[in-house]
Chains A and B, each alone.
Chain A
Amino acid sequence: MAGLTGRMSTVVKAKVSKLLDRAEDPAETLDYSYQKQVEQLQNVKKGIADVVTAKKRLQMQETSLQQSVVKLDTQARQALSGGNEELARTALERKNVAQTELQGLDTQVTELEDQQQKLTDSEQKLRAKIEAFRTKKEVIKAQYSAAEAQVRISEAATGVGEQMADVGLAMQRAVDKTENMKARADAVSELEAAGTFDDITQLGGGEDDIDRQLKQLSSQPAVDDELAKMKSELGPGSAAGAAQIAAGDAAAPVDGAGPAPAGSGAGESGQQ
């Protein structure tokens, strides 16, 4: 068979025979193969642990982003009922960015779970083959002449070697995937470090560089829609709402410490 499958088969066989060529006599082939097999099994376990670690990191980021989404949503509502539409828009833009990142992380966590499952299955198969090899080598030792033992051991070792190569391929693909995911996880960390998802009420009135970048990142129509929806939920006459907030300003349950958004809306530019 040529083409796709032929090439894969050839490469796997070449790798396996290279491994076996290092040993010269039957006893050595046998011990060397078995030793290599056990080593490989340890590597697979380590590979699975790495995937689990990468997954946990992403899951922690997910939790923290979920909290940011809730917080920014609450703050947008508070800003809007306080009559400060600009601040509400900023909060919604940041929420939008957080949600987009969250979706990306979610897909990646699912993918990693998939990889983890595949590697666990491969590990079980390899373990079963190694155990079978261990039994078989005792039989070969007891029953065959040196020359025949050599042939039979090679056959068995090649079979196990193929399974090893297959686990190796699965591992390599898992590692490649986690490398790609690291890039996104790092990007989220950078956004967090830049204060993107921090308490919005800590912001001054002016638009800073982060805001300009976020406006580009976030989907504006989605933000417009959400703002309109939020407005209709809060009911017409946000001026009335503003008055309410102004009255109860000190008691307003704004998340986090720091100054509450200017309830009157007029003080906004004056603060700068």
Chain B
Amino acid sequence: MIVRISGEDQYRLADEDCARLNELEGAVVAIVEGGSEDGFDEAFHALLDYVRAQGTPIGDEEIETSDVILPPADVSFQEAAGEFTGEGLIPD
């Protein structure tokens, strides 16, 4: 599976890492849906750190499409919440 961290790199992750990735993402989603900022930074960075640690970076000259795109590391809680309700990080 190929995962992009927006503003950084694309990483290739083994299929068996997907379950853990899903868990970590689920934790972030739960916090955002809860509406309280508490623990957001920690949970979101745990998700990014997992991708950086488990994944192999894809070279700049390799052209691959990502299966999953994660928001940039400096995303704010409000921006993340906007992903659900508003027009998201990438308006038209």
* A132-B7 in contact (CB<8A): no
B: residues with CB less than 8 A from A are: 4, 6-7, 21-22, 25-26, 28-29, 32, 60-72, 80, 83-84, 88-90, 92
Cα–Cα, bound, A173→B75 (Å): 10
* B4-A168 in contact (CB<8A): no
Cα–Cα, bound, A155→B68 (Å): 16
* A9-B68 in contact (CB<8A): yes
Interface status of A131 (Cβ within 8 A of chain B): yes
Which partner residue on chain A sits nearest B80 by CB separation? Answer: A4
Number of A-B contacts (CB under 8 A): 93
Interface status of A128 (Cβ within 8 A of chain B): yes
Cα–Cα, bound, A11→B84 (Å): 12
* A170-B80 in contact (CB<8A): no
Most B C-beta atoms less than 10 A away, residue of A5, A7, A131, A155 = A5
Per-position 1/0 for A129-150, Cβ under 8 A of B = 1011100100000000000000
Interface size in chain A (residues, C-beta < 8 A)? 35
* A129-B63 in contact (CB<8A): yes
A: residues with CB less than 8 A from B are: 1-9, 11-12, 15, 118, 122, 124-125, 128-129, 131-133, 136, 155-156, 158-160, 162, 165-166, 168-170, 172-173
Q: A129-B61, A158-B65, A166-B4 are in contact. Are A4 and B29 (CB under 8 A)?
A: yes
* B6-A169 in contact (CB<8A): yes
* A1-B25 in contact (CB<8A): yes
Most B C-beta atoms less than 10 A away, residue of A2, A6, A136, A162 = A162
State how many angstroms separate the Cβ of B89 from the closest Cβ of chain A.
6
